[in-house]
């Protein structure tokens, strides 16, 4: 079994772009330790506003995960089960859960709620930035 990595939400990318000391440290440690960082493409769509050299640099070190029809269906079910509507947060949770990734987020309460509805709270950890 592969070691758990990191799944980054929109807040993590924005924090890196703003050069948040905490997010920069997380990023550097992940690179040093060869930790796989995953960014769902829905997250990229939420934060992309043109040319951001810092986000582009971060993305070069990350795996991008496409929003497939299968993933979209699982996200829709999770949103229904949790009574929430944030598609991108749902994508982050459904993406991270099978890998047991730590989720790097600026919104730990919403992610925790989705993890509980997904029954993945035991396999994923939320790391606020």
DSSP string, the chain: -PPP-EEE-HHHHHHHHTT-HHHHHHHHHHHHTT--EEEEHHHHHHH--S--HHHHHHHHTSEEE---HHHHHHHHHHHHHHT---HHHHHHHHHHGGGTPEEEES-HHHHHHHHHHHT-TTT-EEEE-
Whole-number Å distance between alpha carbons of 97 and 86? 17
At 85-105, the pLDDT tens digits run 999 999 999 999 999 999 999
pLDDT reading at 1 higher than 70: no
Instruction: Identify the structural domains of the chain with CATH numbers, from first to last.
Output: 6-128 (3.40.50.1010)
pLDDT reading at 77 higher than 60: yes
The token duo for 108 is 């730990």
State the chain's mean pLDDT as an integer.
92
Whole-model pTM: value is 0.92
Whole-number Å distance between alpha carbons of 24 and 30? 10
pLDDT of residue 87: 97
């Amino acid at each position: 079994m592969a070691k758990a990595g990191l799944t980054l939400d929109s807040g993590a990318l924005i924090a890196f772009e703003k050069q948040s000391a905490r997010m920069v440290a997380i990023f550097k440690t992940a690179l040093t330790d060869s930790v796989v960082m995953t960014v769902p493409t829905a997250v990229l769509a939420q934060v992309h506003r043109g040319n951001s050299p810092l986000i582009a640099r971060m993305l070069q070190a990350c795996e991008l995960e496409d929003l497939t029809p299968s993933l979209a269906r699982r996200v829709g079910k999770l949103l229904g089960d949790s009574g929430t509507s944030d598609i991108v947060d749902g994508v982050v949770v459904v993406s991270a859960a099978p890998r047991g990734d730590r989720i790097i987020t600026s919104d730990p309460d919403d992610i925790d709620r989705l993890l509980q509805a997904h029954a993945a709270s035991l396999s994923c950890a939320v790391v606020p930035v």
